[in-house]
Amino acid sequence: MNLSNWGYFNKSIREGLVGTLKSTASYEGLNISDEDAKLYRSKGNKSTKSSSAKDKQYFFGNGLVNADAAVQAVKQKR
């Protein structure tokens, strides 16, 4: 095996994986009850405006990976 191209090969794989993960990231299947939302909001940042998308980001954070969607995307590329 020629190792002179190994860095490029790893970078290419990494970029492909990151691209797949970014394109399939979602909050699908993640829910929080209205009661819990009110409780957490009362203890958190009161300036945060409420909306469905912002609520999910507020409660579950950024950079989520939808593993099922990612696996399906990889299978479709084969």
pLDDT one-digit tens code per residue, 15-66: 988 899 888 888 877 888 889 888 877 876 655 555 666 777 777 777 678 8
Cα–Cα distance between 75 and 1 in angstroms, integer? 27
For residues 33 and 51, membership in a common domain is answered with: yes
Cα–Cα distance between 15 and 11 in angstroms, integer? 6
For residues 33 and 14, membership in a common domain is answered with: no
Binning the chain into helix, strand and coil, the percentages to the nearest 5 are: 65, 0, 35
For residues 56 and 69, membership in a common domain is answered with: no
The answer to whether the beta carbons of residues 20 and 65 sit under 8 Å apart is: no
For residues 68 and 52, membership in a common domain is answered with: no
- Total count of residues recorded for the chain: 78
For residues 72 and 52, membership in a common domain is answered with: no
Range of the domain at 7: 1-25+63-78
For residues 68 and 50, membership in a common domain is answered with: no
Number of domains comprising the chain: 2
The answer to whether the beta carbons of residues 48 and 74 sit under 8 Å apart is: no
pTM value is 0.50
For residues 1 and 12, membership in a common domain is answered with: yes
